[in-house]
Amino acid sequence: MTKILISTDIEGVAGVYHPEQVRPGNPEYERARRLMAAEANAAVAGAFDGGADEVFVNDSHGGFRNMPPDLLDERAQVIQGKPRYLGMASGVELGIDGVFFVGYHSRAQGRGILAHTINSFAFARVVLNGRELGEAGLYGALAGAYGAPVLMASGDDVFIAETRDLFPQARWVRTKRASGAHSGTSLSPAQSCAAIRQGAREAMASCGAVAPFVIDGPVEVELQTQTTALADLFCQWPGLRRTSGDALRFPADGIEAAVRMLNCLSAMSSMLR
C-alpha cells in the first residue's frame, strides 16, 4: 500500500503575492485559502492518478487550519490544527512512502515572493551544520528522518532554484516567477492546478526509487534573529548561546529536536509582537 503526504503551504500558490492574502481576517485571505485548497486537491488527484492507495493532506500554513475541509478531495485524510510535534511534516510518522510540498516558498532573506523561514517576524536565517535551509529543507530533512523522500514540490522560481539541489530527483512545478517580495508573474489557478496534478502523477513513478534527504545528528543550529530583542528573549532558554547581537547557537540530537526547538522559539516570539 502506497501512502503519500502532501504538505501544503500558501505563499507559493499561484495568484498569491501579498501578506494580506496569507493572514486570516480579510476577504483576500478567504480567496487565497480556496486557491490553496485547489492546489492541494490537484496534488491529491495526481497522487491517486499515479497509483497512491492513501493520501494525507497536511495544512502547513500559519495556524494550520486554513483550507476548508469540505472543499478538499473526499478521498484524502486531512491533518489540521496546532501545536503538532512534527509541524509541516506531520503525517510522516504514519509510514509515508513519499512527500509532496505544495505552495512552498523561498527561505528568509531570499528574493522569492513572501520569502521567510518558519516565522517572518522572528527568524532572519536558519543554518544547520553549516547549511542554510528554508522550510522545505528543514521539513524535507525531518521527513527523511522517517524514511520519506520528497518526490514533488511546487512554488515560485526562486524557491525552486534554491531548493532543487536538496531533492535532485524530485519533480518541480513552477507556479509563478518572482519579481519582488510582493510581486511576480503567475500561472492562472487553473493552469497551476493542471501542472501540479501532472507533476504529482509523474512523481509517483519514482516512488520507492528516490533516496530521502537526511541530515545526520548531532545537529548544530545557528539562528539569526530579526532583532536583538528577539535574541535577548530566546537566550533565556538554557542551552542557547549568544554569538552576536542578533544571533545564537544551540545543539540538538537530531533534525527532529532541532525543528521542534525552532518552533518553540517561534511561539515564544509572540510576546514581543
Q: What's the pLDDT at 270? A: 97
Mean pLDDT of 57-84: 97
Looking at residue 187, its pLDDT comes to 98
With CA atoms as reference, report the closest residue to 133 among 253, 45, 235, 219.
Answer: 219
What integer pLDDT is reported at residue 69 of this predicted model?
95
Residue 29: predicted pLDDT: 98
Q: What is the per-residue pLDDT across 151-188, written as a single tens digit (0 to 9) for each?
A: 999 999 999 999 999 999 999 999 999 999 999 999 99
C-alpha cell at 20: 494580506
User: What are the tens digits of pLDDT across the range 10-34?
Assistant: 999 999 999 999 999 999 999 999 9
Q: Which residues lie across from 55 on neighbouring strands?
A: 4
Kindly report the length of the chain. Answer: 273
Residue 136 confidence (pLDDT): 98
Confidence (pLDDT) at 264: 97
Q: What is the pLDDT of residue 92?
A: 98
State the angle between helix axes of 255-268 and 135-145 in degrees (0 to 180), rounded to the nearest 10: 140
Question: In the prediction, which pLDDT does 189 show?
Answer: 98
Domain spans, the chain: 3-119+134-204, 219-272
Alpha carbon distance 252, 217 (integer Å): 8
Q: What are the tens digits of pLDDT across the range 223-262? A: 999 999 999 999 999 999 999 999 999 999 999 999 999 9
Q: What is the pLDDT of residues 96-150, one digit of tens each?
A: 999 999 999 999 999 999 999 999 999 999 999 999 999 999 999 999 999 999 9
- Architecture in CATH for domain 3-119+134-204: 3-Layer(aba) Sandwich (3.40)
Q: What confidence score (pLDDT) does residue 168 get? A: 97
Residue 205's pLDDT band (cuts 50, 70, 90): very high
Q: Which residues contact 74 (CB under 8 A, 6 or more apart)?
A: none
Rounded Cα distance, 35 and 265, in Å? 30
* pLDDT at residue 157 in the model: 98
What are the phi and psi torsion angles at 227 (to 5°)? Answer: -145, 160
Q: Please report the pLDDT score of residue 16 as a whole number.
A: 98
- At 218 the pLDDT is 97
- State pTM to two decimals: 0.97
Of 113, 96, 95, 249, which Cα lies nearest the Cα of 185? 113
> Is there a contact between 93 and 103 (Cβ–Cβ < 8 Å)?
no
Contact assessment for residue 178 and residue 155, using Cβ atoms and an 8 Å cutoff: no
One-letter amino acid identity for 58? N
> What does the pLDDT read at residue 21?
98
